[in-house]
Amino acid sequence: MSQTTILVIDDSATIRRLVDNTLSPEGYRVILAPNAEEGLEQAQSIRPDMILLDHQLPGTTGFEVCQKLLEIPEVKHTPVVISSTLRKKAYVEYADSANVVDMLPKPYTEELLITTVANALDTGRLIVQSQADGTAVPEVINALEEADFAGTFNTFSLREVLDFVNNGVKSGVLEVQAGTARIWFYADEGRIQAVTGTGIDSKEIAKSLPESLRDIAPVLNLTVGGKLCSEVDGLVELLDRKVLDPRLLRQVLRHQAAMLVWKCFQSELKGFRFETGRMPSPLFRKLPLDSSLVALLVEATLHCPEHELAKELDRVHYSRRAIRGQNLDRAGLSAQHLQILSGVGDPITASDLAARMGRDFNETRRVLQGLSLADLIDRKSTGHIPQVVILEGDANTARSLRLGLQDQTDRLTLKMVRDQLAVRLLLKRSRPDVIILPLQTDAEITFAAQVQQELAAQNIDVKFIGVLQSRTDRDAPAHTPVVCDAYLTRPYTSELCLKVIDQSLSGVEATTRDKSREASSVPACAS
């Protein structure tokens, strides 16, 4: 089947790039022209299936270009879609243009672009021919095709959806909305054959490339989006001529797939849709990955930035997980990594497993985290994880603390609240190990003293950390009703906050505290 070609004539580099990045992953061949002269030349030489034409071009208008296109026999029946920020004001000019089939107002979304192009291709030539012949145009051609399988990730995980596709040996593409990006998983013969995406910065993927592949990192600029264009066609030709090493290029495509999978597991996933029968561009068909999801996840954890990994602590143990419907394919996992999987049975820490198998700890822990993401093993913290409640009314400080402490889930459970009522509600439901309260106003001091007295009356041992405006406030008489295990002074960072929490839990006195836990008499609040 011949490739559907879209010619884009627009003087805006941003628009040309947007259209290319949006339509290429959809399987179109996109040809770009920055002005009318080049656009007319391209139209005559390549004979596109559709033309996306800007209304305002240097030295001319889209209307004049349309008239010239009608004079070229090869493209006089080619459907044209006009795009403009002027909207109705501009569109009235094209009312009698025989080759204009639709309008696309700027700015437009990727979804609107895709829909408009698809509709123009379905009905465009018929409309142009009918306008030229003076015949009627049918009101309906075909109903819009539904996805074969679609839904949200409210109930299903990405691993479960991919397992469903691969276990059923379905052939097609799974499109996933990951944050602002869209990522496509091409499946065939029960395995992942290619992974591409749009809204992805190829430079971020290139940063994590192994040293041996850095020389061909620029290839990612062409392959991340799964584009169908002359540059990618050139790569295929180089492969055919044996000028380019297919082993190196396949490694780059595998790394690309792994990091796109990693992005999915690090992003908020919104929805998915599966289309049967749709296959990737020729380059990916020539160099299929033939990989399992678990192999790509392990590859991702081996190369992702350190700060994106979960912290490994002595209380974090790994254990073999009971298999209940998971895809059992391990294609792409190395023999060494299969041995690490086999070595996990009863709960064991990453450091103990590495020592027992005589392997590098850093590699072992990264492989274990990848296996855990694939749901082949469980990753759990044993022992008690302290719960920390922070009352912080300042939105910016609260946001900074939450971001700074979000990777500390293996060390503590964080509850961030904005008012005193929320603190009381939390204390009714749970018993925190640490409470961080502001002590800057009389009302805040009174509230902290009341909470401390009520917990003491219930024999609940809680570490109190007071937040002061300045260091000199620590010795002020007003603070005597509240006995603190440690203090923080505004402004403070999440790193300092974590340090003071650790010190208070370990019994190390971060600041001078009163010897007596007896507080001055303060009336208790009704709870």
Q: pLDDT per residue over 423-439, tens digit each? A: 988 888 788 999 999 99
Asked if residue 123 has pLDDT above 60, the reply is: yes
Torsion-angle region of 248 (φ positive above 0: left; ψ -120 to 50: alpha; else: beta):
alpha
Contacts of 496 by beta carbon, 8 Å cutoff, 6+ apart? 488
pLDDT score for 148: 84
Asked if residue 104 has pLDDT above 80, the reply is: yes
Amino acid identity at 183 = I
- Same topology, domains 303-381 and 387-506? Answer is no
Output the six-digit token pair for 282: 């020729």
pLDDT per position as a tens digit, 188-247: 999 999 999 877 888 889 999 999 998 888 888 878 866 555 566 667 777 788 877 889
Cα 61 from chain centroid (whole Å)? 40
pLDDT per position as a tens digit, 383-402: 777 889 999 988 888 988 98
Tell me if 487 sits within 8 A of 465, measured CB to CB: yes
Work out the average pLDDT over 128-135: 51
Asked if residue 511 has pLDDT above 50, the reply is: no
3-state helix, strand and coil shares in percent for the chain, rounded to the nearest 5 = 45, 20, 35
pLDDT band of residue 278 (cuts 50, 70, 90) is confident
Q: Into which CATH architecture does domain 303-381 fall?
A: Orthogonal Bundle (1.10)
Q: Considering only residues 343 and 382, tell me which one the structure prediction assigns the higher pLDDT.
A: 343
pLDDT band of residue 131 (cuts 50, 70, 90) is low
Could you tell me the residue ranges of all domains in the chain? 5-133, 149-291, 303-381, 387-506
Q: Is the torsion defined by CA of 41, 45, 46, 51 positive or negative? A: positive
pLDDT score for 233: 66
Asked if residue 409 has pLDDT above 80, the reply is: no
Q: Considering only residues 153 and 87, tell me which one the structure prediction assigns the higher pLDDT.
A: 153
> To the nearest whole number, what is the mean pLDDT of the chain?
84
The superfamily in CATH containing domain 387-506 is: Response regulator (3.40.50.2300)
pLDDT score for 244: 79
pLDDT score for 517: 37
pLDDT per position as a tens digit, 168-181: 999 999 999 887 78
Work out the average pLDDT over 318-329: 79
pLDDT score for 146: 60
pLDDT score for 120: 84
pLDDT band of residue 303 (cuts 50, 70, 90) is very high
pLDDT score for 189: 92
pLDDT score for 403: 87
pLDDT band of residue 105 (cuts 50, 70, 90) is confident
pLDDT per position as a tens digit, 48-57: 999 999 999 9
CA distance 157 to 153: 6
pLDDT score for 60: 92
pLDDT score for 159: 92
Provide the b/e sequence for 161-197 (b: ≥16 CB within 10 Å).
bbbbbbeeebbbbbbbbbeebbbbbbbbebbbbbbbb
Amino acid identity at 508 = V
Question: Residue 217, exposed/middle/buried by CB under 10 A (0-12, 13-18, 19+)?
Answer: middle
Give 5-133's CATH code, choosing from 3.60.10.10, 3.40.50.300, 3.40.50.720, 3.40.50.2300.
Answer: 3.40.50.2300
pLDDT score for 305: 92
Provide the 10 A C-beta neighbour count for residue 491: 10
Q: Assign 496 to helix, strand or coil.
A: helix
Output the six-digit token pair for 141: 């051609």
pLDDT score for 231: 60
Work out the average pLDDT over 272-281: 89
